[in-house]
Amino acid sequence: MNAIGLVSFGYHNKKECKKIAQRIRTISRRFQSSNHPVDFTLIEAAQYNLQNDKDRKKWSKIMHEQDGYVFIIPKDTESITDDITAALKEVSEEVKNKTLLLVYYGIENRFGENLDAVELARSLDMVVLYETVDLPYMDSSRATAFDKFESTEKETLENIEKLLYWTMGMKYTRSLIRQGR
């Protein structure tokens, strides 16, 4: 079975980030099959205090158990860059040679430097899919038509499907490396 971690990095807006992760998990259930079983696990990075040994071990364990990841990251990362960087560096060995799809949401910060999540992931030897999913920002004043939601979900599913194939290949490759072939 392949295990995909839906990791939300909503340190300041936990509710919105968790909601997006749950929606991705719901729409991704169509990939469940007996031929290629996959388990999507919701992981909230903000619930782990890396200053606490017990939480740090839990964070490492849950990240180690995953074969691939979908990182859900706000577009405005100015105030949480250090949190995301510390969380990922803590599990650098656990995420090495595992696949990653980035999903961005929210409003971009126009004044500060944002985290380059692709560069950070690659520095940890993660296999980053060449496409990212950029979710449109929705609020009551800028409501978007239903077809926009439908096309966004379709694009997200297409990228998750690519992630699953890459994850299966990387899992097989890691097993060969462990066997010394």
Could you read off the pLDDT of 16-44 as tens digits, one per residue? 888 889 888 988 888 777 667 889 999 99
Residue whose tokens read 């890691």: 174
CA pair distance 51, 57, nearest whole angstrom: 11
Q: Is 63 exposed, middle or buried (0-12, 13-18, 19+ CB in 10 A)?
A: buried
Domains and CATH numbers, the chain: 2-179 (3.40.50.360)
106-143 tens-digit pLDDT: 877 777 677 888 899 999 999 898 778 887 766 554 54
8-19 tens-digit pLDDT: 998 887 888 888
In 49-145, alpha helices (H) = 53-64, 81-90, 92-95, 117-123
Q: Are 160 and 36 in contact (CB under 8 A)?
A: no
* pTM score: 0.85
Four-residue CA torsion sign, 142, 155, 124, 61: positive
